[in-house]
Structure 1
Amino acid sequence: MSGLSYLCDYGDSEESETEESRITVKEKSKLPVPNLTKVTVCPPDSYCDDPRQHHGRLRTFPHIRGNWATLVYIKCPDESAILDLLCKIKFVFKTIDETCYPCDNLHISVTKTVVLKYHLITSFTTSLQEIISGIETFELGFDTIEVYTNEEKTRTFVALKADHLSRKFLLRIVEKVDNVLEDYNLPTFYKEPSFHMSILWWKGDLKDAILKHIDELNTILAQEKEVYKKFCIQKVDCKLGNKYYQFHLD
C-alpha cells in the first residue's frame, strides 16, 4: 500500500474516532428531564396591566422587558402628621359622588417618571449618588393646598404645596438631577415646577369640582399645626421598577 493510502486510512480512522467521541460525549451529557407538573410557570412576556388591581390607574407607558420605570423624589419623613388632615379633607368631599383614594408613599417628585434601560441602572444610581451627596440637608414646609391633574387628565389630586423657602432647595436638587438625566438622554423635569405632595386622588378630571372647595381646604390646613411644622429632609429617594435607592444629603 502506498504512503498516500496510509495517510488516507489514517485520516478516515481519525474522523471515525472523533465522531465516536462526539457521540459518547453527547450520551454522557444527557440529563433527566425535570418534572415541572407541579410548578406554576408564568411566561416572561405575558405581563398583563390590569387597572382593577390598582383602583383603575392606567400606565403612562407600556410594560416592556428591560425598561424600568424610574422616579426620583423626596419622601415625606413623617406620614403620621398628615393623617388627621387627610381625614378632615376627605370629609369635605363627601358630597362628590366619585370615590377618592389616599395616596400611598407620600412624596415630592423631583423628576418625571422616565424609562431607564436595565443595563444602565448601576451607572445611573452611581451618578445620582455623586451629585446628591454635595447638597446640604434642608427643612421642608407647606403653605397651601392645590389641585392638580396628571398630564393624561386621567387622575385628579389634592396636594400640599411646598413653601417658598423649600422651593429654593428643591430647585437646586432638580437642577443637579436634570444634569444626570440629560447624560442618559432622558426627559428633564418641568421648566416651572410646582413642588407638591399629593395626598388624595380621584379617577378622571375633577379639577373644577374640587376647586370649588379650595378656600375651605386651605382654612383646614391653617388649623393643622402638625402639617405647618418643618420636616427635616436628609435624603433623596429613587424608585427603579421594584428597586429602591436612598441617597443621603450632605
Structure 2
Amino acid sequence: MFPSTEEGPEDDSAKHGGRVRTFPHERGNWATHVYLPYDAREEFMDLLDTLLFHAQTYVPRLVRMEAFHLSLSQSVVLRHHWIHPFVQALKDRMASCQRCVPRAPLCLSSPSPPRLPFLS
C-alpha cells in the first residue's frame, strides 16, 4: 500500500538450484527467455556424469541438472502487458523457420547487453 514500506519477495537462490538473479525482481516485471528443450540421450548423460565426477574435485557444489535446453536469448524483462505481443511476435517470426538437426555441438558466449535480434 505504501511504496516506501512495502518489501518485495525475498530472493532465495537455494530454491532455484543456486541460480542468482541477474537483475532484481520488480513487481509487474516478468523475467523470460526463449529456448528449445533438449531431450538428452544416454550417451550425453554418460559424458555428463564423467565430466561432473572430475569437475566436482575442483568445485564440490556442482550438481547434475534435471533438464536441459538450448537458449536462444538471454533473460530479458517483460512488463505483464507485453507478454502476449511478445509471444505473438515470436510465433510470427518463427513460423517460417524450417526445422534442422545440428550435427556437431556449438557453444557460443552470449552477447551483452541482452537482446532478442529476431524480434528487431
Q: TM-score if structure 2 supplies the norm length?
A: 0.74
Residue identity matched to 2:79: K
Q: Where do 5+ consecutive residues of structure 2 fail to align?
A: 1-5, 109-115
Q: Which has the larger radius of gyration?
A: 1
Aligned equivalents of 1:70, 1:91: Cα separation in 2 = 32
Q: Where do 5+ consecutive residues of structure 1 fail to align?
A: 1-43, 143-160, 168-176, 183-250
State yes or no: 1:88 paired with 2:50.
yes
What is the count of residue pairs matched by the alignment?
Answer: 107
Aligned equivalents of 2:59, 2:69: Cα separation in 1 = 27
CA contact (8 A) 1:79 1:106 kept: yes
Q: CA deviation at 1:67?
A: 0.5
Distance 1:94 1:118, change over 3 A: closer
Residue identity matched to 1:63: H
Q: CA deviation at 1:66?
A: 1.0
Q: CA deviation at 1:94?
A: 4.4
Match of 2:30?
68
Aligned equivalents of 2:103, 2:65: Cα separation in 1 = 19
Which of these residues, 74, 78, 82, is aligned with residue 112 of structure 1?
Answer: 74
Aligned equivalents of 1:126, 1:138: Cα separation in 2 = 22
Which of these residues, 28, 40, 45, is aligned with residue 79 of structure 1?
Answer: 40
Match of 2:86?
124
Q: Please list every run of at least 4 consecutive aligned residues from structure 1 whose deviation after the TM superposition is greater than 6 angstroms.
A: none
Match of 1:204?
none
Aligned equivalents of 2:14, 2:68: Cα separation in 1 = 22
Q: Higher strand share goes to which structure?
A: 1
Match of 1:196?
none
Quote the sequence identity (%). 31
Q: CA deviation at 1:121?
A: 0.8
State yes or no: 1:54 paired with 2:36.
no
Residue identity matched to 1:51: S
RMSD over aligned CA atoms reads: 2.5
Residue identity matched to 1:178: P
Aligned equivalents of 1:97, 1:107: Cα separation in 2 = 23
Q: TM-score if structure 1 supplies the norm length?
A: 0.38
Distance 1:94 1:124, change over 3 A: closer
Aligned equivalents of 1:97, 1:132: Cα separation in 2 = 39
CA contact (8 A) 2:56 2:62 kept: no
Distance 1:104 1:71, change over 3 A: farther
Aligned equivalents of 2:59, 2:98: Cα separation in 1 = 45
